[in-house]
Structure 1
Amino acid sequence: MHSDDVPGVSVDDELAALSEFALLRENARSIGLTGDLPPVSRVSVTTADGKVSALRWGAGTPRLVFLHGGGQNAHTWDSAILATGLPAVAVDLPGHGHSSWRADRDYMPWSNARTLTPVLEQLAPDADLVVGMSLGGLTALRLTAVAPHLARRLMMIDVTPSVTRRQSAMSDVNRGTTVLVGGQRVFPDFGSMFEHTVRSAPGRDREHLRRGVLHNARRLPDGSWTWRYDELSGADFEPLWADVDTLSIPTTLVVGGASRFVGDDDIAQFRRRLPAIDIRVVERAGHSVQSDAPEFLAQIILDALTG
């Protein structure tokens, strides 16, 4: 029954009550999948830094681990995971999604990797590949240093340790939805929150954006809406190039062809430090390759597992 048929029930009421898994059929249709969906459930692990929540996909032992970018959540991987067809764990980073917020608001790769180590030891100790985008990519890189037993292969999506320097020179238009992080926090209703997001990504599909905002929003007691992530601050990630120097596992760097977060000089530095790195450019994809081209990313992931 739709809210229009129920006196006193608003669209915002309906959206706030929507199950987080109710939209998966839309994800499947968007990439041309039919048939039964794989089982997916929300799980959590309590750590010294608070609860870490995650989505467990499939019935088998997880082969893939996914770490999202700053201001995102585990559902950003829904379509890509469906396209791979493999059992996986997608984590809500600390301060994001359904994971706990930290009192010190330290959501940097160094602290994230320490926090996630016991989580992945419990949820995905034998995963073949850790995939991370943006902040999640840098967290995955750091994870290879502090918990090498959890990272047999590494895939970083549209990020290098030089991302802060590069982002500081970008316009708001080129930054896309990343401009939302650090921007307006509270909106009077879901519609205004959604339209605010659309304005930051005018070329993106509205239905796809709507799913993303629904997963990334929560309703406050007064009826207004806010983001599911804590306030984030920037940092200098350049020291993480030292972790690149220590990499001894198969590593892939995926670059959005329409993104400016990774430049030619960043790629050249990666090649100097890690000559065996596999560079994949996904044409017409922006910073969030998993959102813009989930089928292409899924194929790159499958290639990495067999390469």
Structure 2
Amino acid sequence: MDVATDITEFSYLPAQAQTLGVPVPPVERLALRLPDGRSVSALRYGTELPRVTLLHGAGLNAHTWDTTVLALQEPTLAIDLAGHGDSSWRPDLDYTPRPLAGDVAAALDAWASGPQLIVGQSLGGLTGAALAAARPDLVDELIIVDITPGIDVSAGPSALREFYAGPTDFATRAELVDRAIALGFGGTRAETERGVFLNTRVREDGRIEWKHHFAHLAAQALAAHDTGTAVAPSRLHETGWDDLAAVSAPVTLVRASRGFVSAADAEEFQRRLPAAHVVSMDATHNVQETGPVELAALIVASLSAASGM
């Protein structure tokens, strides 16, 4: 297990913490070599063993949780799913929840002690369900953020498809920021610059490219479509209901009022899992970014209830 020494990725935390009026906890980058030669990477916040593990959505990375973690002020592990952030891309291109959950299990075996409160957003939520079904010893509770197995968000809005299916490398990060803003993504320019910096890397030839594999696959899929080559349909959701049915831990669904889970989707979720809780929040699909304080409060309440406080 290696600990990275490059701390530039943490340069945004002080300003975020100042906005919230909270201290910046100790944070470090972890890396774990897997038996097949790939690696899984994560951010560990705090000096104690984590009580909470966070799993991001497709096309994101562990830093999407930064503001939520600052509001949370609890020992936390935020994992880069395979093909995202600093975790290795999968040569088999299988980014469905069950293979992803296998990597998460390996990370928790290495970096945690005892079951975790797992919070997963979008693809991370389905991965959390797969983890809880396969390794119940690792999951004390599961909070799923704005996703159900009945929703396929992999295609995304047309502008998002255009964004990721466009060029996958750029001369500068500023060029990519300009493209994101032109297509209506991000908030302020400073917020967009932060997101781009944390989700890209500099190649050996000096070009800037996306860290996550999905952008590269989207571009390949668009090229295949243009040339008439068949593209396999998404399989992200095909095992989701089976996994959820096998989960023995308490389950909560967070429905974002401006997200992807409709009232009908939430009702189906409640019908299939009558013991689950459904909570609504005023946020977009990326609740961890647009409703971080409210989401952190829900996590704290869950931790308090679990400890009997």
TM-score of the two chains, using structure 2 as the length reference: 0.84
Match of 2:94 in 1: 106
What SS is found at the alignment partner of 2:10? coil
Number of residues paired by the alignment?
A: 282
- What letter is aligned with 1:43? L
Q: In the alignment, which of 34, 42, 47 is matched to residue 47 of structure 1?
A: 34
**Cα offset for 1:276?**
2.1
What SS is found at the alignment partner of 2:258? coil
Q: In the alignment, which of 122, 128, 136 is matched to residue 140 of structure 1?
A: 128
What SS is found at the alignment partner of 1:83? helix
Q: In the alignment, which of 158, 163, 176 is matched to residue 172 of structure 1?
A: 158
Q: For residues 268 and 183 of structure 1, what CA distance do their matches in structure 2 show?
A: 37
Tell me: CA distance 1:247–1:142, structure 2 relative to 1, closer, same or farther (3 Å): same
Match of 1:224 in 2: 207
Assess if the C-alpha contact under 8 Å between 2:171 and 2:206 holds in 1: yes
**Cα offset for 1:222?**
3.0
Identity, in percent, stands at 37
What SS is found at the alignment partner of 2:239? helix
**Cα offset for 1:198?**
2.3
What SS is found at the alignment partner of 1:86? coil
Tell me: CA distance 1:203–1:105, structure 2 relative to 1, closer, same or farther (3 Å): closer
Structure 2 counterparts to residues 1-307 of structure 1, below 5 A: 19-30=8-19, 32-34=20-22, 36-49=23-36, 50-164=38-152, 171-172=157-158, 180-202=163-185, 204-231=187-214, 232=217, 234-259=234-259, 261-283=260-282, 285-307=283-305
- What letter is aligned with 1:238? E
Tell me: CA distance 1:87–1:229, structure 2 relative to 1, closer, same or farther (3 Å): same
Assess if the C-alpha contact under 8 Å between 2:46 and 2:74 holds in 1: yes
**Cα offset for 1:178?**
7.0
- Unpaired runs of 5+ residues, structure 2, are 1-5, 219-233
Deviations 1:51-82 (A, max 9, x none): 10111110112000011111111111111011
Q: For residues 301 and 86 of structure 2, what CA distance do their matches in structure 1 show?
A: 31
Tell me: CA distance 1:263–1:29, structure 2 relative to 1, closer, same or farther (3 Å): same
**Cα offset for 1:236?**
4.7
- What letter is aligned with 1:211? R
Q: For residues 150 and 47 of structure 1, what CA distance do their matches in structure 2 show?
A: 18
Q: For residues 105 and 174 of structure 2, what CA distance do their matches in structure 1 show?
A: 38
**Cα offset for 1:93?**
0.7
What SS is found at the alignment partner of 1:257? strand
Q: Name the stretch that deviates more: 98-107 or 200-209.
A: 200-209
Question: What's the C-alpha RMSD, in Å, of the aligned pairs?
Answer: 2.1
Tell me: CA distance 1:71–1:178, structure 2 relative to 1, closer, same or farther (3 Å): farther
TM-score of the two chains, using structure 1 as the length reference: 0.85
What SS is found at the alignment partner of 2:93? coil
